[in-house]
Amino acid sequence: MVGVVCYFVAVHAIGFYKDNCMNNQNRAIVKTTCGELEGVLEDNLYVFKGVPYAAPPIGALRWLPPQPFQPWQGVRAAKSYGPIAPQNAMALPGISEKPEPQSEGCLFLNVFTPGLDNARRPVMVWIHGGAFCMGSGSMQMYSTGTLAADGNIVLVTINYRLGVLGFLNLRELTKGRIPSTGNEGLQDQILALRWVKENIEAFGGDPDNVTVFGESAGAMSVGCLLTLPGARGLFHKAILESPVGEMARPLDMSVEIAREFLRTVEVRADDIPAIRSLPLDRMLRAQQIVAAKMGQGGAPVIPVADGVVMPSLPLTSLEAGRGLKVPTLVGSNLEEDKLFSMMTPKVYGIDEEGLRKAAAKFVVERDAEKLIETYRNAKASRGESVTPFEIYSALSTDVMFRKTAIRVAEAQCRHAAGGYNYLFCWKSPAAGGRLGACHALEVGFVFGNYDASFGGSGPEAEKLSKEMQDAWTSFARTGNPSGKSLGEWPQYSNGRAVMIFDKTSRVKEAPYEQERRVWESLEVLEYSNMP
């Protein structure tokens, strides 16, 4: 009897020992510069959520550059996402997200890695979009391990300060008593990249092979980072998906927006205590009002060419050869504007006179008709619809997005380590097809997490997603997006070679060339392409 008891005790003891060893092996614990973190093992990926990379920018730190996070004792849990930057809710067609907790103390990042080893995998740092006033690094679309697992890369997604807390220039109006340049959100991104440089090797990543990528406001952020002195040495490649306009505003425009903001909250510029103590909900309401008053659409505040953090407008710097000399992949979607048209349905009924007035906002009035006719003839030659709405949508898409993408590709081919250009032409099935190849549609395909109702489904969609993921991770690995899925992808300088992403992806030289060239012969209004 004693022998039997001893046997069972021994068996259970061995079993307990084995289980405990397995649990220890599977525990995702990493030592960082601030202390130890414990993440989770999900679908064969180690995931660390809600990792603080900066001190909470609250109280006396509001509107100041981000400060380092203080070290902690013991093991800190990193198993749930941190709160996101304060923001107003905004519904976008085809994009639905569960509400997330919000807080001014929002400076967290998330890490997805295939292994906690010394493999030194390429690192990809995602900067989310959202007009600099909404979104987060933990949105459902990004919080998937597909890109990291299939591409064998380490993926980092980040939060940064948004809206008036991250991009409001108060330095000029307060005579420096509140020193915010309007680039505090960009400085958050820089500190997150510094955290990556110092810590990512412990997560199986290579700190000497970091790619920054983003979409819309995230792509604009990447464009800014390419020109900021504070970002030098923190990343080695850049991907810009649908960057907008000049990617920042001149200082004088930003000062006027700040002045209107203070008028709206009814606080004098010299009442520093009142400004510093503004309630969050009051600021968010004022942010919306200012956007409407100043005609800034969904982007009330964006980065600022303040002359300190940002020496000059990003496109100006890139075209002058003052940007980082890193390989750059940049592109846009064929029908970006159709997402925004869904939010302003009256544009569907635009007539010829309305089209002419719209064109006259992009170029001087005498050139408006030439611009319209060029687009009409080009679309007709391809057998496409030439209704006033379709021409307006194409004009708006190109002036805001495609022109910027092309200018970035040209500048990086000329001055840096090369530039690659793409055009995403896959059409959304949503809203009876009215969205077309709209803004943000490509993001789900890049992350392997596209929604069937918005992005589509079936073998062709799966193939497209695989192609984009392979290209993005190949670029992150080598600086060249060519690979097995797509074959050779030449640089844009080779005959204006563009990768067309569609049901059949392919390289095409100088697509939509009539539309591109007409802008070179017209007098474009200054800042007509500013968001």
Catalytic residue, candidates 184, 260, 336, 410: 336
List phi, psi (to 5°) of 107.
-85, 80
Q: How many residues does the chain have?
A: 531
In whole angstroms, give the CA distance from residue 142 to residue 447. Answer: 6
At 264, the amino acid letter reads T
Catalytic residue among 341, 439, 467, 474: 439
Q: Is 52 helix (H, G, I), strand (E, B) or coil?
A: strand
Nearest CA to 530 among 314, 365, 373? 314
Q: With the C-alpha atoms ordered 52, 53, 55, 56, is the resulting torsion angle positive or negative? A: negative
Q: Is 331 helix (H, G, I), strand (E, B) or coil?
A: strand
Distance CA 372, CA 364 (A): 13
Q: How many CB atoms lie within 10 A of CB 344?
A: 9
Q: How far apart are CA 272 and CA 255, in angstroms?
A: 16
Would you say 129 and 217 are in contact if contact means Cβ atoms under 8 Å apart? Answer: yes
Give the H or E element holding residue 112: strand 108-113
Give the C-alpha separation, 501 to 450, whole Å: 15
C-alpha–C-alpha distance, residues 335 and 390, integer Å: 9
* 336 is an active site residue: yes
12 is catalytic: no
Amino acid at position 510, single letter = A
SS3 462: helix
Residue type, 173: L
Helix (H) / strand (E) containing 300: none
The residue with tokens 């996101």 is 84
Q: Smallest Cα–Cα separation from 328: which of 439, 394, 415, 400?
A: 415
Question: Residue 313 in contact with residue 247, Cβ under 8 Å?
Answer: yes
DSSP string, 401-442: IIHHHHHHHHHHHHHSS-EEEEEE-PPP-GGGGTT-S-TTHH
CB 331 within 8 A of CB 216: no
**Spatial separation of the C-alpha atoms in residues 328 and 421, rounded to whole Å:** 9
Active site residue 128: no
Dist CA 19 CA 28 (whole Å): 16
Please give the positions annotated as active site.
Answer: 216, 336, 439
